[in-house]
Amino acid sequence: MEYKSVAINPKISLVANSTGSGQNYISSWDESVGIEGFETVYWTYTITSAAQYYKLTKVCGQWVSHDGSITLSNRTNIIKVMGGADTSSVNRLYTYHPTSSKFTTTLTSTPQFKYGDGGITIMNSKMNITLTRGGTKWSFAMIVIGVLFSD
């Protein structure tokens, strides 16, 4: 499985009373080098004088075939958001089954996380697909981490 992560250091100097967005991207090939995958996660942030908040907002993915003898099936996109203090922790999985090799998932109900609530906060996306050539099947999975911090 291929993965890429980015850690946001909430202790860096950010401008108070500001908002913005960020993204993280990964591309990779399956083991046969016949299928290429692309995945991007997007998030927003809000910085106040008292706190920093992060929210996962969108995931875009695509599998591109460079080998016509490979069949693609069982497309899955699993989005995970986890974080918060012990008394108000959130651990949610959102599972989608794209019907085509290119997809965009807009997330409207994912929670917003505050840096400093304790524990670890992680927001990531995993793309998984089953590939078949002849009678041989294999899986191709990629994970991209959008926001990761521990406080």
Conformation bin of residue 74: beta by default, left when phi > 0, alpha when psi is -120 to 50: left
Closest CA to 60 of 94, 5, 106, 17: 106
Q: Output the pTM of the full model.
A: 0.80
What is residue 21's predicted lDDT score, i.e. its pLDDT?
Answer: 84
pLDDT at 150: 65
Instruction: Provide block-wise average pLDDT over 10 residues at a time, the chain (151 residues).
Output: 40 58 89 94 82 86 97 95 69 92 90 71 89 95 80 58
Q: Determine the Cα–Cα distance for residues 19 and 21; give it in Å rounded to an integer.
A: 7
User: What does the alpha-carbon distance between residue 111 and residue 56 come to, in Å, rounded to a whole number?
Assistant: 8
pLDDT of residue 141: 93
